[in-house]
Amino acid sequence: MALFDIEAWSINSATVIIIGLLTLSFALRYTSGKKLHPSEPTVVQPWIPVIGHLLGMVVHGGRYIKRIGLCYPQEPILTLPVPGSRIYVVTEPSLAASVQRNTRTLSMTPLLPEITKRVLGLDKTTYHVISKNLDPEPGGPRGFLADIHDWVYTSFGPGEYVNTLSCEAAQELCFQLLETVGATVPVPGPVDLLAWVRHLVTVGTAKAFFGPHNPIAEEPDLAQDFWAFDHGLGGLLVGILPSITASKAYAGRERLTAAFCKYFEAGHLEEATSIVRGRVRIEKEYGMSTDMTARSALSFLFAGIVNATTTTFWVALRIFANQSLLGQVRQEIRQALEASSQRSGPDSLSIAAIKETCTTLSAVYRECLRVGSENFSVRMIKEDTMLADRYFLKKGAVVQISGGAIHGRSTIWGQDVDEFNPGRFLKEKGKGDGFHPAAFRGFGGGKTLCPGREFATNEILAFVAMVIHAVDWVAPDGGSLSVPEKNDRVMPVHILEPATAPEGIVRPRSEEAKVLSRLKVVM
Ligand code: HEM
* In 219-246, alpha helices (H): 222-231, 233-238, 242-245
Over residues 338-379, the pLDDT tens digits come to 999 999 999 999 999 999 999 999 999 999 999 999 998 999
Could you give the CA distance from residue 484 to residue 504 in angstroms, rounded to a whole number?
A: 13
For a mutational test of ligand 1's pocket, the pick from 368, 448, 450, i.e. the residue with the most ligand atoms closer than 8 A to its C-beta, is: 450
Helix (H, G, I), strand (E, B) or coil at 506: strand
The residue whose C-alpha atom lies closest to atom 25 belonging to ligand 1 is 452
Could you give the CA distance from residue 153 to residue 41 in angstroms, rounded to a whole number?
A: 33
Measure 224 CA to ligand 1 centroid, in angstroms.
22
Q: Which atom of ligand 1 is nearest to the CA of 152?
A: 35
Over residues 413-442, the pLDDT tens digits come to 999 999 999 999 997 666 667 899 999 999
DSSP state of 43: B
Over residues 97-114, the pLDDT tens digits come to 999 999 999 999 999 999
Could you give the CA distance from residue 179 to residue 288 in angstroms, rounded to a whole number?
A: 38
In angstroms, what CA-CA distances link 238 with 62, 181, 399? 15, 41, 19
Ligand 1 neighbourhood includes 443 CB (under 6 angstroms): yes
Which of 477, 523, 485, 522 minimizes the C-alpha distance to 503?
A: 477
Strand partners, 88: 79, 399
CATH 1.10.630.10 is held by the domain 128-375+442-522? yes
Measure 476 CA to ligand 1 centroid, in angstroms.
34
Measure 311 CA to ligand 1 centroid, in angstroms.
12
pLDDT attached to residue 3: 46
For a mutational test of ligand 1's pocket, the pick from 119, 207, 210, 443, i.e. the residue with the most ligand atoms closer than 8 A to its C-beta, is: 443
Tell me if 480 sits within 8 A of 325, measured CB to CB.
no
* Every domain of the chain and the residues it spans: 128-375+442-522
Over residues 19-55, the pLDDT tens digits come to 777 777 666 666 667 899 999 999 999 988 889 999 9
Interface confidence, given as ipTM, is 0.97
Ligand 1 neighbourhood includes 452 CB (under 6 angstroms): yes
Give the mean pLDDT of the chain: 93
Could you give the CA distance from residue 310 to residue 375 in angstroms, rounded to a whole number?
A: 14
Over residues 3-20, the pLDDT tens digits come to 445 555 566 777 877 777
The residue whose C-alpha atom lies closest to atom 43 belonging to ligand 1 is 450
Sign of the torsion formed by the C-alpha atoms of 485, 489, 492 and 498: negative
Q: Which atom of ligand 1 is nearest to the CA of 446?
A: 16
